[in-house]
Amino acid sequence: MKMIEDYKGKRVLVLGAGKSGTHAAELLQQLGATVVLNDAKPSDQLPEISELQDRGIKTITGRQTADILNEHFDLMVKNPGIPYDNEVVARAVREKMPIITEVELAAKITDAEIIGVTGSNGKTTTVTMITKILNEQRSKGHAYAVGNIGISATETAMKATADDTLVMELSSFMLLGIQKLHPRVAVLTNIFSNHLDYHKTRQNYVNAKMRITMNQTPDDFFVVNFDSDEWRQLSKRSKAKVVPFARSSEIDHGAYEKNGKLYYNDEFIMNASDIKVPGRQNVENALAAIATAKSLGKSNLAITNVLETFTGVRHRLQFVLEADDRKFYNDSKATDIEATQVALEGFDQPIVLLAGGLDRGYTFDKMIPQFKKHVKAAVLFGQTANLLEDALKKAGIQDITKVANLDEAVPVAYRYSKPGDIVLLSPANASWDQFKTFEERGDEFIKDVEKLTRQQEAQ
């Protein structure tokens, strides 16, 4: 890692004591900063901070109020999920204090090459595909998946060498806090209307996403989904070499699908049907990974070795098991309408859908075409059960049951299913009405499916 002087002698407030915050605090102290770590949770809910306190890092816990800034600070390193209307952040903005996120720190100190991936959907799967491909037939160093995927970028950056690659999953929240982060390859998977409660307007959200390419030069690559005219137009903002990918649009270069085959610049790579993970969205993710890998000089064999064996990321259209000729899939990461639409379109078999969750104030009528074409029955739970039921009835679905929770939903879904069907958890909603995270929701689904199938086998 580079022992940069940027933070030596500076006073830095780290806001949020999650993994990224604690690793950022450790790094800043190593770089000579005086660090204060703040979290709204009380200290007894933050076991990770005791080691920081032993290192001499001051902690303020149990509150997150603007008076924390009565002490002088030169910089704030903000947890990406803390909004800008938080009173501490809002005061820092008013006082023109620089605010960055942890990925900016990682970018400044790492010797490794950086690949950045952003988008509304498909980020984690694309990051994982790219990382695995870059590690195929690699003679020196290692590629690491970091960032929004759940692995601290600073922790990895402190250990990485110039022979390594950091493949960063970058959320819009993270990208608002970058200054000099410079990816060799930046990837935009897609942009829908997400996180408007945080960004306030769609244009703000789009602008945040596009920050991924703001420091790129003509020597770099910007890999962009060309299946939307909006995204094509956005690519013109970049100074980097644009490398398009497309599943449903005709393009004359880049990575694309044609007649069920995947190509890169007219070179055949593989059959789309040979991609191990199901769904059209995973063809798009694979095309983004192919465009990235080929831009970096990886071989077709490295690409196919991964894409023909990779079975998916946990909670992202993850195959759980097959029982009684029914396949169960966990797509708990589908926290918005678009993700569930894509999941439904990924199957040709009849689907028993499990859906529902936090009510964010929108209806589900835009899903009616997918409901009509793909869903045979639905089991609904959570705050949006009634709203989903309305849309499903408009689509002509007769077999609908509302239940209190996911535990009750799985046995009902099984009773609706027949041999050859897909039983799919793809909620189209955030999980926070009944679960702390979408991961917790997906884990619960897996446990319920395993319990159900054990009971079936015992009969």
Residue 79 is assigned to a ligand binding site = no
Give CA–CA dist 286/272, Å, rounded: 9
Q: What is the dihedral of CA 350, 352, 358, 364, to 10 degrees?
A: 40
Q: What is the pLDDT of residue 459?
A: 58
Are 28 and 122 contained in the same domain? Answer: no
406-416 helix and 438-458 helix, angle to the nearest 10 degrees: 50
3 within domain boundaries = no
The predicted structure's pLDDT at residue 446: 96
Annotated ligand binding at 258? The verdict is: no
The CATH number covering residue 155 comes to 3.40.1190.10
pLDDT number for residue 458: 61
| Residues 29, 93 contacting (CB under 8 angstroms) | no
Total length of the chain: 459
Q: Is residue 312 part of a domain?
A: no
> Does residue 147 sit within a domain?
yes
How confident is the model at residue 199, as a pLDDT?
A: 76
With beta carbons less than 8 A apart as the criterion, state whether 87 and 95 touch.
no
Taking the alpha carbons at both ends of the chain, their separation in whole angstroms is 59
Structure tokens at 303: 């690409």
Is 120 annotated as belonging to a binding site?
yes
- Say how far apart CA 438 and CA 435 lie, in whole Å: 7
Instruction: State pLDDT tens for residues 253-276.
Output: 999 999 999 999 999 999 999 998
* CA distance linking residue 225 with residue 235, whole number of Å: 9
Model pLDDT, residue 192: 83
Clarify whether residues 430 and 286 are in a common domain: no
Is 217 annotated to bind a ligand? Reply is no
Question: Is 251 within a domain?
Answer: yes
Binding site annotation covers 396? no
Instruction: Please write the tens of the pLDDT for every residue from 98-111.
Output: 999 999 999 999 99
Residue 40 confidence (pLDDT): 94
- Chain centre to alpha carbon of residue 328: 22
Q: Are residues 17 and 156 in the same domain?
A: no
Q: Is residue 221 part of a domain?
A: yes
Q: What is the DSSP letter of 313?
A: B
Domain boundary among 288, 307, 326: 307
Is 121 among the annotated ligand-binding positions?
yes
CA-to-CA distance for 413 and 424, rounded, in angstroms?
9
Tell me if 4 is assigned to some domain: no
CATH number of the domain at 341, please. 3.90.190.20
Same domain, 285 and 358: no
Q: What is the pLDDT of residue 308?
A: 96
The ranges of the chain with pLDDT < 70 are 194-196, 456-459
Assess whether 171 and 279 both reside in one domain: yes
* pLDDT, the chain, mean: 94
CB contact at 8 A, 111 and 160: yes
User: Does residue 260 sit in the same domain as residue 344?
Assistant: no
pTM: 0.81
Q: Which of 307, 340, 375 is at the close of a domain?
A: 307
For residues 364 and 405, state if they share a domain: yes
Amino acid, single-letter form, for residue 136: E
Domain that includes residue 287, residue range: 103-307
* β-pair partners for 38: 15, 60
- Structural domains in the chain (count): 3
**Is 141 annotated as belonging to a binding site?**
no
Decide if 379 is inside a domain.
yes
